[in-house]
Each structure stands twice: as C-alpha cells, then as structure tokens.
Structure 1
Amino acid sequence: MPAYIQQFTICFGVLLVAAYLVPAGVLHWIVAVRPTPEIETARIQRRRPRREDVRREVRQSLAALVFFALYSVALLAAYRAGRALVYWNPSDYPLWWAPLSVVVAMVLHDTWFYWTHRAMHLRWVFPWLHAGHHRSITPTAWAMLSFQPLETVPQFAFFALLIFFVPMHPVALLSYLMLDGLVNAAGHCGHELTPRFIRERVGFINAVAHHDLHHRRFQSNFGQYFNVWDRLMGTFLDDKPAAPETPSIVRDERPRELVSRPAAREPSV
C-alpha cells in the first residue's frame, strides 16, 4: 500500500473515532439513549429530530471526515518538514504555557469561528458552504461535523494555522481538540447541559440554547465558545433554554435555499 494511502487511512480512522464517534456518541448516549428526567426537562425544542435528519447528519459528517483526513495528510507532511510549532520537550517553554496555550487556542478559535461563520451566512456564499449544515433545524450531536465539502476548508484551516503559529505541547493540543469536539457535540445535542451558574453568572460563555437558537434563527449567535463578538457586533440573541420557538418563526426566518428544499421541512411536533 502506498505511503500516502496508508497515511490517509490512519488519519481517517483516528478522526472518525476521536473527532466524531466519541464526542457525538457520548452526547447521544446522555440525551437519547439513557436520558434522566432532568435531561428530558432540559430539552430545548418541542419538536424532535427525524430519523432521516440524523441519517443526513451522519452521511454529511462522514463525507466531511474524508476531506479532513486529506487535509491531515498534508498537515502531517508540513509537520515532518519542520514547519509546525508543536514541541515535545516540556522544558522548551515555561510549564504555565501548556495550559495557557489551550486558553489562547479557545480565544483565537472563537474569533476565527465567529467571522468565518458569519461570512458563510452571506447570501451569495451560504448555498455553497453552509446550507447543508443548516438543514438541521433541530440538530443532534451527530450534526457536529455535518458540513458541505467547501465548508471543510475554513473549518479545518484554523487547526492548521494553530499548529503553524501557536507553540503547543502535544498533550495541550490533544486536550484542546477533545474539548472542542465535546463542546461542538454538546452545542448540537438539543438539550441545555450548560451548568446553571455559568448561564446565570458568566454571561460571556455560550450555552447550548444559544447555538440551538442559531439553527432556528440563522442570523444570530455565530460564536463558538463565547458570545463576546456577538454582543459587540449586535448579533447576540438570548432566550430561555426551555422556551421553544413556534413553527412559524422557524419557517419565516429560513434562507430561501432551505425553504425550497423538501428535506429542510421542520419535524412534526
């Protein structure tokens, strides 16, 4: 087997398990397989996702993982060429930098995500990059990587830039990737899992309900971890976690590209 095919197979397998099956599977187990009464109470929307919606989310995510694996092979080649700032010797940087680098990655990623995400909602860009993801009006954790092929480019680009420009120990990098996966899966799980003290006292951190609102209202809550950029740019929208939107609101605020597609019809309540 040629080396590049072997590298692609390994990258795809690792990403499939670590970046998709584990985070999405954990959240699926919590909210759908073995939900407690408290979890059921935390359901955000009255409507429930349809089986065909979940199948579409999984199908699009698997296709996106193929592209991510291809990009990873190229990134691995750059790393081997010495172009990455990943360091293995802990003494190369102060010990406090390892945990701080995770925080730096979160702040940079949130900024990157806000502006690229908002750009993908531009009318002439949306159908080509982001409409596929927004076919999930009532998303599930399996929608966490449900991207169209072109959307995989800005989604993956941040991680490449992170490795090229921010020195990170492999443990810190892996910790951040795991955190990002869990946050992404939780943001699409349809249940408000954010601790109450964070929702009530830490106003700059996004709750699950904020991203769920984004899937229903489209033109608000573009941030990943925080809502600082949303607040500064006037795109922040808050709501009570348990207050569902009426079907008419969902229908009225969809982009035309989604309204015209039969697959985008909202699930029955």
Structure 2
Amino acid sequence: MDVVLEVFDGLMFDRLYANILPIQSASSFDPISTLTAGFKGYGGNDTAWQAASQGADMGLQRSAWEYKPASQYLQVQPSEYAWMSRWDRDDAWRQTVSLYIITWLFGLVIYFLCASLSYIFVFDKDTFNHPKYLKNQMRMEIKQTLESIPIMAIFTVPAFVAEVRGHSFIYDNISDISHPILTLFGSSWNYLQFPLFILFTDFCIYWIHRGLHHPKVYKRLHKPHHKWIMPTPFASHAFHPLDGFSQSVPYHLFPFIFPLHKFAYIALFTFIQIWTVMIHDGEYVANSPIINGAACHTMHHLYFNYNYGQFTTLWDRLGGSYRKPNDELFQKDQKMSKDEWSRQSKEMEKMVKEVEGKDDRSYGPEETFVRRRQKVA
C-alpha cells in the first residue's frame, strides 16, 4: 500500500496536510513537531535534522522529511507541499488517516463500479421474480454496504499501516528482504506467490466462514449477509462489519507470513473485490468441480450450510460441506423456471427453520423494476 499511498500523497494529501497542519513559523514553539522529531530519533548529528534546524533559523517552513520512492517501477515526484506540513509523509498518524480515507473510498468505488457493471451486463433481472427475493432488496443491500464499509475500513487500516511502515514481507525487489522461502525458490517465487495466496486464503476463509455459521455466532454476525437468499451483485459487500472484516483477515495476514510483491499485493486485493461481486452475480457460467463460483455460492445462500470456500471447492470437499450446484442452474430455460424456484424455496424454508428458526424476511419484487416493466408492458 505504500505505492498507493505515494500516489495519493502526490495527487492530493501533501497539499491537504500542508494546509490543515502547516509547519509553524520559526518564531513560534510547536510542541507537536518537537515531540515528533524526538520520537523519530533525530539528534544533533543527524544531517536531516540539522538542515531542518538551519531552515527554521532562517524562518523557512520546511520539514526534514526525505523523499524515498516506494517503488522503483512507479514514482510520483513530490511537490513543495510534501515538506510543508508538521505531519510529513512518514508520520504514523498521517499514514493512518490517509490509508483510512483510501480504503474507504477505494472500497466504495470498486463496489459500485463492479456491482453496477455486473448488474447491467451480467445479472439476470428475472431474479426479481423469484419467490425468495426480498422486497426492495437492492436498496437494502446498498444501504447495508454503505454502513459497513467505513467500519470495516477502521479494522483494516492497522494492517495497511504496519505494511507501509515495513513490518511485513512485502517487497519491491526480491533482494530487498530475507525470507527462507525466497532462499528456496528464488525468482520463481514471483510466480508461485499467486497460487499460494489463493490456496492459503481459501483455506483460512473456509474455516472462518464455517465458524461464522456456528449457532452462537451466526445470528449475531453472519445472518445479515444471509438475509439475501437470491443475492444481486450489490449484496457482495453487504455484511455486518465484523463479519466482512473477519473474512478478509487472511488477505492481510498473508504478507506478514510470506513474501509478496507490492504490485501483486495491489492486483490481488483488487481481484478479491471483483471476485466477491462475481460470486453474487447469479450468472452460472462455470460448472466446475474445482472453482467455487457463483453457482456454488448460490447453493450457499439458498441452503446455508454448504460451500463455505471462497475460490475453490477443495476445502469443502475435504470438510464434507461441498454441495454440487443443481444441474438446472446451468440451463437457461430451467434455472428461472417456476418448478426449479419451487424446489429451491421448499428446501430453503426447511433450512431456515433449522438454522434461524422463524423466517423474519419480507419477500416481494423490486418495486422500481416492477413499475418499469409494467410501464413498458
């Protein structure tokens, strides 16, 4: 995330912090800057500190911070604003605030972008007529997401800050870090990190997700996401904040255990958001015994206690929780038939009684869509 942070610093944050928290003039005492400098370990023999002190003596308002590119592959040269705030780019509080804003905004942008594209080009609108589709469901999905993302961002930011401050095994070049796995695989790790990331996170999420279905946990944390029996792409991030964060922990844990390239980290983090939308889009294109795609995840939303995996069916098969998607889901003329919906509804109602007890959902079509169809007709 240091690469992303450098880009945002150059584009907006440097100027923002320079205006909100400017360095005080030499004639005034600034305890915050003094304490910050002390905690950073600046001393009389430090060149940067001496330069800053000399600048202060001359009345110049300039930080002692020194620019070091986050990556050799992408650099954004800082403007003068980068040296004009008492919170320079290396300040932990500034990094925390900046990363929170980035995480929140990035989460919202990719959610609305991917979910909207999926809704327009992929999602089958006949789903609105399914007997287990909730009244005004999309509106509720979006509302829950908007409430959850800023809270999930709070839980996520500490991992990003720790990574930015050099406490993980994220690297720009293999020679930058020392790790036993790099000694074993060398440059091949640049390719092997991708399948290992998928296997590691898939394994961890399987057990976390399965744990969220424990009776003592389910109703408190995971039930809000299972409110959507027939989800739309906008249900992809509609979680209880602790539920959503808990299932993201393996993604953040991986680079603190294994080496991970900076740009692989960004690419995988983006892929995860897109994949989360894809498994909720209701388009069953992959009838694969290996990939835990939208069809498998539909089985999970319909019947609750199956297909906990995120990417593959491996751990569900080993854990005895795999359920093969109904063949009808892959046949366009049958997946939206009343007979198939009736079978799904009857079994789903039995599972709801077993897992939740009373079904407190309010079913009905998406009103806006229904009105639009009636008007066209």
> When the two structures are superposed, what TM-score results if normalisation uses the length of structure 1?
0.83
Kindly tell me: are residues 40 and 143 of structure 1, through their superposed partners in 2, closer, same or farther at Cα, counting changes over 3 Å? closer
Alignment partners' CA distance in 2, 1:162 and 1:261: 38
Counterpart of 1:226?
312
Counterpart of 2:69?
none
SS at 1:206 equivalent:
coil
Residue 204 of structure 1 contacts residue 226 of structure 1 at CA under 8 Å; is this kept in 2?
Answer: yes
Counterpart of 1:59?
143
Alignment partners' CA distance in 2, 1:237 and 1:138: 17
Kindly tell me: are residues 254 and 224 of structure 1, through their superposed partners in 2, closer, same or farther at Cα, counting changes over 3 Å? same
Alignment partners' CA distance in 2, 1:146 and 1:119: 19
Return the letter of the residue paired with 2:209: H
TM-superposition CA deviations, 1:181-215 (whole Å, max 9, x none): 22211111122132xxxx2xx52222311110110
Counterpart of 1:105?
197
Counterpart of 2:170?
86
Residue 128 of structure 1 contacts residue 150 of structure 1 at CA under 8 Å; is this kept in 2?
Answer: no
Return the letter of the residue paired with 1:78: A
Shift of 1:78: 1.0
Shift of 1:256: 6.5
Alignment partners' CA distance in 2, 1:55 and 1:105: 34
Alignment partners' CA distance in 2, 1:10 and 1:63: 17
Counterpart of 1:155?
247
**Matched positions, count:** 254
Alignment partners' CA distance in 1, 2:305 and 2:248: 23
1:81-230 → structure 2 map (5 Å cutoff): 81-89=165-173, 92=176, 94-194=186-286, 199=287, 202-230=288-316
Alignment partners' CA distance in 2, 1:187 and 1:84: 30
1:13-28 → structure 2 map (5 Å cutoff): 13-18=105-110, 20-28=111-119
Runs of 5+ unmatched residues, structure 2: 1-19, 21-92, 177-181, 330-334, 367-377
Counterpart of 2:121?
30
Kindly tell me: are residues 255 and 185 of structure 1, through their superposed partners in 2, closer, same or farther at Cα, counting changes over 3 Å? farther
Kindly tell me: are residues 88 and 147 of structure 1, through their superposed partners in 2, closer, same or farther at Cα, counting changes over 3 Å? same
TM-superposition CA deviations, 1:143-172 (whole Å, max 9, x none): 111111221331232122112112111221
Kindly tell me: are residues 48 and 217 of structure 1, through their superposed partners in 2, closer, same or farther at Cα, counting changes over 3 Å? closer
Residue 251 of structure 1 contacts residue 259 of structure 1 at CA under 8 Å; is this kept in 2?
Answer: no
SS at 1:26 equivalent:
helix
Counterpart of 2:350?
252
Shift of 1:11: 2.4
Residue 134 of structure 2 contacts residue 362 of structure 2 at CA under 8 Å; is this kept in 1?
Answer: no
Counterpart of 2:46?
none
Identity %: 24
Shift of 1:131: 0.3
Kindly tell me: are residues 25 and 118 of structure 1, through their superposed partners in 2, closer, same or farther at Cα, counting changes over 3 Å? same
TM-superposition CA deviations, 1:37-62 (whole Å, max 9, x none): xx679x7x945845621122112222
TM-superposition CA deviations, 1:80-131 (whole Å, max 9, x none): 3321111112555644322321211111111111111111111111011100
Alignment partners' CA distance in 2, 1:138 and 1:103: 30
Alignment partners' CA distance in 2, 1:48 and 1:218: 14
Alignment partners' CA distance in 2, 1:160 and 1:140: 27
Counterpart of 1:36?
none
Residue 136 of structure 2 contacts residue 364 of structure 2 at CA under 8 Å; is this kept in 1?
Answer: no
Return the letter of the residue paired with 1:252: K
Kindly tell me: are residues 107 and 154 of structure 1, through their superposed partners in 2, closer, same or farther at Cα, counting changes over 3 Å? same
Alignment partners' CA distance in 2, 1:162 and 1:132: 27
SS at 1:189 equivalent:
coil
Residue 151 of structure 2 contacts residue 241 of structure 2 at CA under 8 Å; is this kept in 1?
Answer: yes
Alignment partners' CA distance in 1, 2:241 and 2:222: 10
Residue 132 of structure 2 contacts residue 345 of structure 2 at CA under 8 Å; is this kept in 1?
Answer: no
> When the two structures are superposed, what TM-score results if normalisation uses the length of structure 2?
0.60
**Deviates further, 114-123 or 22-31:** 22-31
Shift of 1:15: 2.1
Structure number with greater Rg is 2
Counterpart of 1:35?
none
Alignment partners' CA distance in 1, 2:293 and 2:242: 27
Return the letter of the residue paired with 1:30: F
